[in-house]
Structure 1
């Protein structure tokens, strides 16, 4: 089943990332934070379907997306040329990434637009969780850290929330962590057996982070991702 959403607003989040506020009139949108919907349109007579995760919480007729534009990205280019008032077709909300337990401490490990589902999960945990949540967000440069003000506000508002940034190619005046997310796990966490880890990013990052978590003692049942990333990495090597 598809539904029609209207773009209420669109705004710049980073040089290549735009935010979109969408409304489905007369609907109370139901999804688990961390799940995705699909944007659907036709190009050259063929239907294009691409998944994007809300960064906001369910329960109203609106939600927000953050979409990075890629040079050869058919769907991201399509969305970046949309304007307020335009209508787009959406698929159902679905996906395996969702908060497992509100009473366990969690770590949210994101790179790039892998932040989008984890931001929704972080909002849910900040509101309803009983433990601590620590989000680690990796990007290449500081100006690519989208939704940074939102993350900083969540960390300032909730004592249970901490946010760490790391850059793989920082400018000279960067004072926070340097490198990839998976390189800082041992420094940032010490309870790998009991904490839940949620991982989202490019497939290589997810696979490397998952492998490192296992090396540090995290059991498989405490590591959560979409689950398709290993196959994507294997296909790239064929």
Structure 2
């Protein structure tokens, strides 16, 4: 029997995946998985179960009234989960918290299989998941418990969904909790992980993409690019990877490999340090020519430290170009939570 993966994204950043059977309504699939989505009548009359379908194909159903879901609302992507029947994998934004729906975050364990330092800038951590492959949206993150510290740190997947071997690109911070643990960690050690989480993830690709990565903010884009390569995307994609120093440019060989696997993928690297001999120096905003923005007919994804995010937002304001969509995630090196939009 055909079934579809439905990602339920809650307001508190938690994402839960449910399997929806063919001809099954999303509300019923959620209840079957013990997730109590908002509802009252379940007959398409009250509108209490109204959510937003952010991607995927579905049938809205015929048994609801206009007061519950108007034609304009339906056109904008709003759905009634008590009537919606998916015909593909879907992502649904639920306008309440996971706790209000009596569900929580997913937890899983993984084993360290490889730790690879890259200069003094970053560490690639590769883990083998104990059990089934984790399901997540390309770009999302997890919280990883740091053994013996009572603390956790948040990291975006650098690997694509559906694999038992998962990867993370971690900034190397002298004296940092995770960096210190990784300096002495051994293969075979166990880590506890919570997630996936976050509203920064790849949406349906219907127009050119501009990806802006700052430092280890490259990680979610590696996940997105791998997912796009597996889908054989033909869309125009350009990545600008900005760092402070030459030594901070890591995994460029992986980025270069996508120029062979994605027909219309290009990238550029930018180094901010004035003493650098890199051919492109300065900030990413100085290397975004107007034609790259397609007059606003573009989807922009940005992951980097707060100053970079603010600079890009100001650049768009000053240029007068409004992207069709602009998704960003701010991070700070020692933060255990992320801010996304």
Q: Is the 8 A contact 1:142 1:171 kept in 2?
A: no
Matched, 1:132 2:226: no
Q: Is the 8 A contact 1:105 1:131 kept in 2?
A: yes
Q: 2:129: which partner in 1? A: 24
Q: 1:222: which partner in 2? A: 325
Q: Is the 8 A contact 1:125 1:133 kept in 2?
A: no
- Give TM-score, length-normalised by structure 2: 0.61
Q: 2:192: which partner in 1? A: 89
In 2, distance between residues paired with 1:68 and 1:99?
A: 23
C-alpha deviations, 1:117-146, integer Å up to 9, x for none? 122112222333331110000112222111
Q: 2:11: which partner in 1? A: none
C-alpha deviations, 1:77-115, integer Å up to 9, x for none? 223432211111111111011112222110100111111
Match of 1:53 among 138, 156, 161: 156
- Give TM-score, length-normalised by structure 1: 0.86
In 2, distance between residues paired with 1:205 and 1:27?
A: 37
Higher RCO (Cα < 8 Å, 6 or more apart)? 1
Aligned pair in 2 of structure 1 residues 218, 79: CA closer, same or farther (>3 Å)? farther
Matched, 1:115 2:198: no
Q: 1:235: which partner in 2? A: none
**For 1:137, what is the secondary structure of its paired residue?**
strand
Q: Is the 8 A contact 1:34 1:97 kept in 2?
A: yes
In 2, distance between residues paired with 1:83 and 1:221?
A: 46
> Between Structure 1 and Structure 2, whose CA radius of gyration is higher?
2
Q: 2:110: which partner in 1? A: 5
Matched, 1:41 2:146: yes
Aligned pair in 2 of structure 1 residues 173, 212: CA closer, same or farther (>3 Å)? closer
In 2, distance between residues paired with 1:141 and 1:228?
A: 19
In 2, distance between residues paired with 1:149 and 1:227?
A: 25
Matched, 1:160 2:264: yes
**1:39 offset after TM fit, Å?**
0.9
**For 1:91, what is the secondary structure of its paired residue?**
strand
If each structure's helix is expressed as a fraction of its own residues, which one has the higher value? 1
Q: Is the 8 A contact 2:120 2:172 kept in 1?
A: no
State the Cα RMSD in Å: 2.3
